[in-house]
Amino acid sequence: MSEPSVYEVIRRRRDVRAEFSGEIVEDATLLRILDAAHRAPSVGNSQPWDFVIVRDPATLAAFAAHVADKRIEFHDALPPERARTFEPIKIEGITESGTGIVVTHADERGGPQVLGRATVPETGLYSTILAIQNLWLAATAEGVGVGWVSFYDEPFLTDLLELPAGVRPVAWLCVGPVHELQEVPDLERFGWRSRRPLDAAIHWERYRSAQPF
Ligand SMILES: Cc1cc2nc3c(=O)[nH]c(=O)nc-3n(C[C@H](O)[C@H](O)[C@H](O)COP(=O)(O)O)c2cc1C
């Protein structure tokens, strides 16, 4: 079987919530995906990311319960019409995927003089995000789904995983084989928010937009 092109994978990638098959991703596949993540570019070659793999059902259940609470908080703060639109939207597949990869960020890795970070301190965090994107695309190429969960309080996840001081959880990724990938993002399918056309995002020479937000 020939490998899909990077464009095909980018087009196919989806945030997965409901399509996990219930199988567990094999370790060999998982390691190929993590190897792709670990090849991401990073400011000053600092590689500030780490990956915590979580499969213990008790830990998955504890995190899922926390996320369920945060979902209710978000729902209850919405105006009634938005709350109704939000209600059918699934926001995680923590237990169904069977594997969580928590991507963490150590901002002090690389020491005090990280080449390229002196003027833009966020470039450390940007680097960790790039590792996540590599992971997501590699997983898609492997037929493995990824769903990013950010409905959590950082101190809760820090305690749950016993992260040391200076190591910040950046994403909980639900990772597992899928029976299909949706063609249209869930938030668009459920009427929450649609994608913008490319034209609206491109500016030539100067940023000009009647509606920047
Ligand atoms: C930083 C970040 C945080 C996200 N958090 C969540 C989340 O908590 N729950 C969820 O269901 N999707 C989450 N998503 C997925 C987005 O909703 C999704 O990427 C977007 O709707 C576009 O859909 P697509 O990824 O399928 O193209 C997150 C995505 C990003 C990049």
Q: What is the CATH number of the domain that holds 29?
A: 3.40.109.10
210 in a structural domain:
no
Please report, in angstroms and rounded to a whole number, the separation of the first and last CA atoms in the chain. Answer: 43
pLDDT at res. 211: 82
Establish whether residue 14 lines the binding site of ligand 1, counting it when its CB lies within 6 angstroms of any ligand atom. yes
Name the residue of 140, 150, 172 to mutate for ligand 1: max ligand atoms within 8 A of Cβ. 150
pLDDT at res. 170: 98
Of all protein residues, the one whose alpha carbon is nearest to atom 13 of ligand 1 is 148
Q: Per residue in 31-56, pLDDT tens?
A: 999 999 999 999 999 999 999 999 99
Distance between CA atoms of residues 99 and 21, nearest Å: 12
Distance between CA atoms of residues 66 and 94, nearest Å: 11
Q: What is the pTM of this model?
A: 0.97
Checking if the pLDDT of 1 tops 90, the result is: no
Establish whether residue 105 lines the binding site of ligand 1, counting it when its CB lies within 6 angstroms of any ligand atom. no
Q: How many domains does the chain have?
A: 1
171 in a structural domain:
yes
Of all protein residues, the one whose alpha carbon is nearest to atom 19 of ligand 1 is 15
pLDDT at res. 212: 85
- Ligand 1 centroid from CA 53, angstroms: 20
Confidence of residue 2 (pLDDT cuts 50, 70, 90): confident
208 in a structural domain:
no
Name the residue of 13, 15, 97, 140 to mutate for ligand 1: max ligand atoms within 8 A of Cβ. 15
Helical residues (DSSP H) of the chain, grouped into ranges: 6-12, 27-38, 57-76, 80-86, 94-97, 123-141, 154-160, 186-189, 198-201
51 in a structural domain:
yes
Of all protein residues, the one whose alpha carbon is nearest to atom 21 of ligand 1 is 187
State the residue range of the domain holding 174: 6-201
209 in a structural domain:
no
Distance between CA atoms of residues 81 and 85, nearest Å: 7
Give me the residues paired with residue 146 across strands: 15, 175
133 in a structural domain:
yes
- ∠ CA 143-147-152, nearest 5°, is 160
